Structure 1
Amino acid sequence: MALNRDAILGAVDVQTEKVDVPEWGGDVIVRGLTGDELDNFQGSIRQFRPSFDGKGMEPVLVQDGMRAKLLVKCLVDEAGERLFTDQDAPALGAKNGSVIDRLYDVAARLSGLSEEEKEELEGNSATATEDAASTSSSPEMSSTAP
């Protein structure tokens, strides 16, 4: 049976997951983002800069505080209300990195971020690695110890 407009718009399809965080002494509820919220998040971590050839603009990912920026949108109370505002991201980002990373993985999965998108956002994609390698001014590390 094909769904109609009302069935689609009436469907409760945003998922939540309770996650044990022993480091904080209890559970937190992580809610996936809606389509509009996901677009807003992705837009908030992308900026444009002039391309190297000077013929246009290219997107650049701003990874500073990226995990916390997602989590402030996804951590909710029992009623589904956000626990944090967007302005709380720096304070949340100052918490244990292992916890933030673990919760980010859940939020990304529930929000529909593909593994490829997640790797790109985290700077682990081949393109991000190639870009970083081509712009690095650091000397190469030697594999032999003195």
Structure 2
Amino acid sequence: MALNRDAILGAVDVQTEKVDVPEWGGDVIIRGLTGDELDAFQGSVRQFRPTFDGKGMEAVLVQEGMRAKLLVKCLVDEAGDRLFTDQDASALGAKSGTVIDRLYDVAARLSGLSEEEKEALEGNSEPPTDNGGSGSSSPNESSTAQ
């Protein structure tokens, strides 16, 4: 049975997950981002600058505070309301890197960040390109070599 417009728009599809944070003495609730929120987050960690030769522009990922920028959007209370504003990212980023990294992994997964995007945002690989390619999730040669 094919879904209609009302069924799609009425579906509750944004996931939440409760995560134990013993370092903070309790649990937190992490909510995945909506499509619009994900776009805004990805846009907030990208800047465009002239290429080295000055003949074009290139996208550069701004990693400073990136994990906290995602978490302030995803940490919610029992009612689903955000605990933090975007301006709280610096304060949250001053907390334990171990905790922030662990919570970021959950927020990224719930928000639909692909492993390729997550690695690019974390600086572990080249950023995904918007060149109209196939977007294949096939492993590259380096990930299959032993």
> What TM-score comes out, normalization by structure 2 length?
0.86
Aligned residue in 2 for 1:55: 55
Where do 5+ consecutive residues of structure 2 fail to align?
A: 128-146
Q: Give the 3-state SS of the residue equivalent to 1:30 in structure 2.
A: strand
Aligned residue in 2 for 1:76: 76
Amino acid aligned to 1:108? A
Question: Across the two proteins, how many residue pairs are aligned to each other?
Answer: 127
Where do 5+ consecutive residues of structure 1 fail to align?
A: 129-146
Amino acid aligned to 1:85? T
> Matched residues in 2 for 1:72 and 1:91: separation?
10
**RMSD (Å) for aligned C-alpha atoms:** 0.7
The offset of 1:53, in angstroms, is 2.0
Q: Give the 3-state SS of the residue equivalent to 1:3 in structure 2.
A: coil
> Matched residues in 1 for 2:121 and 2:10: separation?
32
> What TM-score comes out, normalization by structure 1 length?
0.86
- Computing the radius of gyration from Cα coordinates, the structure with the larger value is 1
> Matched residues in 1 for 2:99 and 2:54: separation?
41
Amino acid aligned to 2:16? T
Amino acid aligned to 1:82? R
Amino acid aligned to 1:118? K
Aligned residue in 1 for 2:89: 89
Alignment of 1:1-146 (within 5 A): 1-125=1-125, 127=126
Identity of aligned residues (%): 90
Q: Give the 3-state SS of the residue equivalent to 1:58 in structure 2.
A: strand
